[in-house]
Every structure is written in structure tokens, then in C-alpha cells.
Amino acid sequence: MLEVQNLMVFFENALAINDLNIEVNEGEIVGVIGSNSAGKTTLMNSLSGLIIDMRIKEKRRGGERITVYGKILYNGQDITETQPDERVKMGIVLCRERHPIFPESSVLENLKIAGYLKKRQEIIESIEYVFKLFPALTQLKTRKAGFLSGGEQQMLAIGMALIVRPKLLLLDEPLLGLSPMMQQVVVDAIAQLKESTGITVVISEQFARPVLPMIDKGYVVENGMLTLSGTGQELMDNPEIKSAYFGI
């Protein structure tokens, strides 16, 4: 479904992604594991096309030069230079790290806003599914999003991404800043998402412990380079992973 070939991303002379190759099959949950500044967010921005907008904005204001090499293939089509809005239409949707919500609008209003391009019946069905996936949001329908906890806002952000009905859902550090209990709620929801809808998910995270048990395969990225890959179980059993991410 998705194939990244020899991807390299430069910010001026700084190399953020270095000759990265990953493959995502339809229906899989794929994890990209790495510490801070490993290149995870740059990868997700490249997959979603946001890197193109960033490059244009930097060029207009005379900022740092962003250069991208390599290819990104989606269902066999080269989308390396495809605009982010066109990728959304193709079914590629990104839920960004600390995804922006509309704080002055209610939970329900946020979900409706996210589906502004969809038909009314599709929005209704998608909202019902989001509340089923995240029951905690059901009691918060009328609450302003700005008054939600960090975990509740993250559930809402993922819900807003799901309203678009993605075929490929990109989750950039969805567990960042959440308590262990809330992390598990989000992880369980992602696993349930795969079982109930078959959506393909790519999740980037630095918190490997809760993520590895649910992924079909994972890639470990450090300093923009692929250092390890394997199934979730293989990575969990790897002594290097245990030492670096589990402290054992």
C-alpha cells in the first residue's frame, strides 16, 4: 500500500532523514519507533505531504531550504510531489503531534468541522463510530474542547482524523504527554480500529513499550536512519530494544 524508497530530507545542510526505506501493507499497524529528534515527525510530514507546504512557506519568507530526495509510493503511484490536500482525497490522513483542535468549539462541533467535506449521513455515521471507539467522549459532547484534559483532547484529535474516513491513518506521537492509563486507552482504541474497520495505520512513537505489542511490524529510527526492523514481537525480544527503551 505504501512504500518509501531511499527517502532523504535536508533542512539546509542538516540531514533529518537519511536513505530511509519502509514498507506498509494494507490492513497493517506499522510502528516507527525512535527517540526525540530521530526524524519521526519529518517522516510523517513527508508521508502526509506537509513537507511540501513547509518547503513553499520557507522559500517565500527566505527561510531554511528544505530538500527532499527519494520516492514515496501509494498503491503503486508516485506521490512524492503530491499536495497534502490531494493526499487526503486519496485517503492519507495525518493526526499530528499535539494535533490542533478548536478550543472554543464543543467536542461535537469539532467532529462536525472535521467532516465538512463529507456528506451529512457519512458524518453522522462517523461521529457515532468515534463515540463508540472513545466512550469517554460521549459524556463530553457539549464541552468546549479547550477544557478537555490532554488525553481527552488526543482522543478528540484522533476522532477528527477518523471523520475523514482515511484508508491510511498516520498518527504522529499520539501518546506524548499522556498518563500510562490514558496511553493504554489510546493504544486499545487503535487496535480496535484495525479490527473493526481494517484501516491501515502508521504510528510514530518514542514510547515503545505500549506500542510494540499491537503492531504488525516496526522500524526503529535513530538520527534519521533505519537501525532495526522486524515484527512487534521480534523488536520486543531484541536486547538492544530492551536496553534502549525498556531500561532492562
pTM of the predicted model as reported, rounded to 2 decimal places: 0.91
Domain for residue 193, yes or no? Answer: no
Q: Is residue 1 a part of any domain in this protein? A: yes
Per-residue pLDDT of 87-142, as tens digits, reads 999 999 999 877 778 999 999 999 998 887 778 888 899 999 999 999 989 999 99
pLDDT at position 57 over 70: yes
Distance of alpha carbon 95 from the chain centroid: 5
Distance (Å, rounded) from C-alpha 194 to C-alpha 189? 9
Type of residue found at 54:
M
Q: What is the DSSP letter of 206?
A: S
Does any domain span residue 158?
A: no
Q: Which triple of cell numbers denotes residue 171?
A: 498518527
Q: What is the CATH number of the domain that holds 70?
A: 3.40.50.300
- How far apart are the C-alpha atoms of 43 and 222, rounded to whole Å? 12
Say whether pLDDT at 248 is over 60.
Answer: no
- Side chain identity, residue 57: K
What is the H or E stretch that residue 111 is in?
helix 107-114
The mean pLDDT of the chain is 89
% of residues, the chain, pLDDT over 90: 54
Helices 50-60 and 40-48, interaxial angle, to 10°?
Answer: 100
For residues 202 and 64, which has the higher predicted lDDT (pLDDT)? 202
Neighbours of 5 (CB within 10 A): 15
Total of domains in the chain: 1
User: 68 lies in which domain range?
Assistant: 1-91+204-248
Q: Is residue 63 part of a domain?
A: yes
**Residue 111 falls inside a structural domain:** no
Q: Is the pLDDT of residue 246 over 80?
A: no
Tens of pLDDT, residues 12-44: 888 999 999 999 999 999 999 998 888 999 999
Residue 44 lies in a domain: yes
Tell me which H or E stretch contains 30: strand 29-33
Q: Is residue 96 part of a domain?
A: no
pLDDT of amino acid 240: 83
Q: What pLDDT, on a 0 to 100 scale, did the predictor assign at position 144?
A: 94
C-alpha torsion sign, points 93, 152, 122, 198: positive
| Residue 143 placed within a domain | no
pLDDT at residue 247, as a whole number: 56
